[in-house]
Structure 1
Amino acid sequence: MLWLFLILPVMTVTSRSFNISDKSTSKAISDRLIELVTQGAFRGVTYYRLAALADTIGPRLCGNESLTQAVNWVRDVMVSEGLENVHVERVEIPHWIRGEERARLIQPRYAKLSMLGLGNSIGTGSNGIQAPVLVVRSFDELTARCAEAQNKVVVFNPQCDWEAQPIGCYDIVVAYRHNGASHAAKCGALASLSRSAASHSIDSPHTGRLSYDPAYSKIPAASLSVEHADMLERFQQRNQLIEIFLYMEAQTLPNVIGYNLVAEIKGSSLPNETVLVSGHLDSWDVGQGAMDDGGGAMISWTVLSLLHSLNIRAKRTIRCVLWSCEEFGGKKTFFIIDFQSLII
């Protein structure tokens, strides 16, 4: 009965059809949509859809059956509420699995390290890797100390002022997650660990995707919590011996078939021109993917539900696409849109 709960707003607010043709009409429609979302039948609908997705299906890792379940669930509800041209489009997607993983500090004391393997990483093998550690803050520092990295685990601990650069710092830190393994491998390292790309932490590592440079050997790669990356650097600053054990079962399986989900409301006078609203349904396997990007996907879906509930047809076709596998490299294109010019 979950699907029925999710389409009740559509069933309760339908009214006469609108073809938006002038500014006064578009203003009235905008006011009505805002009223529905903030005070009316659609208040909380996006949240409840998101909660149902996150609670009932949970993590939706690219290539995993749970992602297909999510696509089918949303598609069935879209069809039930009467959206147009609801269909899936096949796409070949990668299939990486995490498996068991752990990291432990061996020297100068024994302790569990908070880590998450990075998407696309290889595993360590059944015996794991136990080796000394070299901590660096940048690729330039690694280059200068390349000889020291031989047969060690390289830990990238980049520093950035997140308060001054809340967006810029993310890109700076992610570069080490994305490219660090190959830089470390170039210097003969056995594995690569990178500081989590987060402004704040509660000892919570942040996963993501890495890329290997084909010019160098692949080595296992994972992220460390902010606290543990800093701790390892403090050990090094005190000239203490640092040794860790890393175990990862990660592996990449053959590609599988996934599905992008599409639904529309055809335009009234320019149906061959399209306004796209979209988000990605896939998520990482270690969380529910509520914000990245379940929220964006549910918002995009509810845009169509709102318009359909009022029988609104804009001049152009409004198309919702819920993508598969953004977390493993799916690309997005963004447009700056003058919405007023599109709907009148």
Structure 2
Amino acid sequence: MRTSFRSLALAGLLLAGAGSATAQSTAASATKTDSLNIRKIYDEALLRGRSYEALRDLCTRIGGRLSGSPQAEQAVQWGKMEMEKMGLDRVYLQEVMVPHWVRGAQEKARATGAKGRGIDFNVCALGGSVGTKGKLKAQVVEVKSMAELAALPAEKVRGKFVFFNRPMNPTYMETGHAYGEAGDQRRIGAVEAAKRGAIGALVRSLTLAHDDFPHTGTMRYEDGVAQVPAAALSTNGADQLSQLLKADPDLNFELEMACQTLPEAKSYNVIGEIKGSKYPDEIITVGGHLDSWDLGQGAHDDGTGCVQSMEVLRLLKATGLKPERTVRAVLFMNEENGVRGGNKYAEVAKASQEKHLAAMESDGGGFTPRGFNLEADAATVRKVQRWQPLLRPYGSAEFNPGHSGTDIGPLKGQAKLLIGFDCDSQRYFDIHHTAADTFDKVNRRELELGGASMAALVYLLSKYGL
């Protein structure tokens, strides 16, 4: 660590600019103190971290937590109890009404060719889809894009399933970029298919992996457009269906789904906070979303973000680093299919005239930390980037402008800085929104390092502000 301290002292001198020798010495001393305090945070996380065991409890005892479900309600009570055990200054629930969509019985799908031979497919309903009201059977037309669908003659689409089969682009280094680019198929595929007279939409799962897990995720309908069922096929299934269509363009596809949307349900954001010692009216929020899809256990999406956010508070308390500004952990409800929790939190914050200095979100999985994405004006981004040397020894020094998070997005305009915790994303979309998103896929050390990285940046924000 001696070499690191020398580089950090140099960083302190640079921060001081052309000030007096006393000011430079003070800056270097403060930087060394911060180095030691951040080391305390990491030591506490790696020696006595609580994130992993908290996640085990959430995932294995409660499991998937779709908004409006009994499991989501259990998770609310779990989160409240976990934060109460920390001895925080305040723990409370914030009421929010959420959508209540249920999957129903296991979905079924089968393709039958001209010779009558049937092949079963692994499928799952997209979140928010209507059901099929029994078995829905029709021919299939395959497209790679919305433009290709729009260019087809009406008779080629009417009365058929539209099969959207555009893979995520594997050449992008950031898998989130590929996910976002291919996501229109899932989000609006059913609407565009219905506009052309189709009776349903089949969508290739949004993943770079080749496996048999179909990936769910939210989709939407549009007023004035017929609501048709929408299902995801696994990537292996999509490849197989594409090959079958080349050999037999007139094959029939049969889909059966029992999903439905029920009346909205009452739920809650779970909030815990440590009051700031000097500037209690300035708030730093850190959070993840408590809800998940129902297929797996909601481990990486986003149980990891929830336990890391709670761990930020625990780490500050355990190390005796009393924050100068109020630090608040929020377990948001309903990120997956409505963002009601994020919107409610921002709405209440605005009505209460709260002063949000910054908000941080962890919603990219619990993988190896890389740094943070920053949403703010250029001057604020530069201020935060001055702290990079302090986190460089821990591999979390990539501070770049970029997307912060869905649940803290509504705080834009209220908070001076929005921050997205950034970790290695190469494996994230292999399990995202699938039955494979389970506790056993999370690595203890990676998870605890992420919480420590978040706590370190929150410590600096609390001490120095912006």
TM-score norm. by structure 1 comes to 0.88
Are 1:63 and 2:68 matched, yes or no? yes
Q: Which amino acid aligns with 1:138?
A: S
1:94/1:220 Cα in 2 relative to 1: closer, same or farther (>3 Å)? same
1:281-333 deviations in whole A, cap 9, x for unaligned? 11111000000000010000111111122332211111000011110121423
**1:301 paired residue number:** 310
8 A Cα contact 2:98 2:266, kept in partner: yes
Distance 2:42 2:181 in 1: 38
Structure with greater helix share of residues: 2
Structure 1 letter corresponding to 2:337: F
Q: Does structure 1 conserve the Cα–Cα contact (< 8 Å) formed by 2:79 and 2:331?
A: no
Which of 212, 224, 234 lines up with 1:215 in the alignment? 224
The SS at the match of 1:167 is: helix
RMSD: 1.8
2:301 match: 292
Aligned-pair distance for 1:66?
A: 0.8
TM-superposed deviation, 1:22:
4.9
Q: Distance in 2 between matches of 1:54 and 1:85?
A: 25
Greater relative contact order structure (CA < 8 Å, 6+ sep): 1
Aligned to 1:10: none
Shift of 1:79: 1.2
Q: Which moved more, 1:103-112 or 1:212-221?
A: 103-112
Amino acid of the residue matched to residue 36 of structure 2?
A
The 1-side partners of 2:74 and 2:111 are apart by 39
Amino acid at match of 2:74: Q
Gap runs ≥5 in structure 2: 1-28, 340-405, 410-417, 421-456
Q: Which residue number corresponds to residue 378 of structure 2? A: none
Which of 279, 303, 324 aligns to 1:315? It is 324
Q: Distance in 2 between matches of 1:167 and 1:286?
A: 21
Q: Distance in 2 between matches of 1:93 and 1:146?
A: 40
SS in 2 for 1:312: coil
The counterpart of 2:120, out of the listed 97, 112, 116, is 112
Which residue number corresponds to residue 351 of structure 2? none
Name the residue aligned to 1:79.
84
1:37 maps to a residue whose letter is: A
The question of whether the paired residues in 2 share the 8 Å contact of 1:103 and 1:114 is answered with yes
SS in 2 for 1:197: coil
Classify 1:273/1:180 alpha carbon distance in 2 versus 1 (closer, same or farther; 3 Å).
Answer: same
Please say if 1:280 is aligned against 2:400.
no
> CA separation in 1, counterparts of 2:142 and 2:77?
46
Tell me the residue number matched to 2:408.
333
* SS across alignment from 1:193: strand
Find the aligned partners of 1:114 and 1:163 in 2 and give their Cα distance: 27
Quote the Cα distance in structure 2 between the aligned partners of 1:309 and 1:168: 37
Output the CA distance in 1 between the equivalents of 2:94 and 2:196: 43
Task: Decide whether the 8 Å contact of 1:280 with 1:326 is kept in 2.
Answer: yes
Aligned partner of 2:143 in structure 1 is 136
Cα 1:283–1:75 shift into 2, 3 Å: same
Distance in 2, matches of 1:235 and 1:77, equals 51
Contact 1:26 1:343 in 2 (8 A): no
What corresponds to 1:250 in structure 2? 259
AA at the equivalent of 1:229: A
Q: Name the SS of the counterpart of 2:267 in structure 1.
A: strand
Distance 1:129 1:341, change over 3 A: closer
| 8 A contact 1:89–1:260 mirrored in 2 | yes
Write the distance in 1 (CA, Å) between the matches of 2:243 and 2:110: 17
Letter matched to residue 408 of structure 2: T
Q: Return the alpha-carbon distance in structure 2 between the equivalents of residues 24 and 164 of structure 1.
A: 38
Deviation of 1:239 after TM superposition, in Å, equals 4.5
The reply on whether 1:186 has 2:195 as its aligned counterpart is yes
Cα deviation 1:113-156 (Å, max 9, x = unaligned): 1111011100111x320111111111111111141110111110
1:203 partner amino acid = D
TM-score norm. by structure 2 comes to 0.66
8 Å Cα contact 2:143/2:149 also seen in 1: yes
Alignment of 1:133-282 (within 5 A): 133-147=140-154, 148-164=156-172, 166-282=175-291
Q: Any gaps of 5 or more consecutive residues in structure 1?
A: 1-20
Deviation at 1:250, TM superposition (A): 0.8
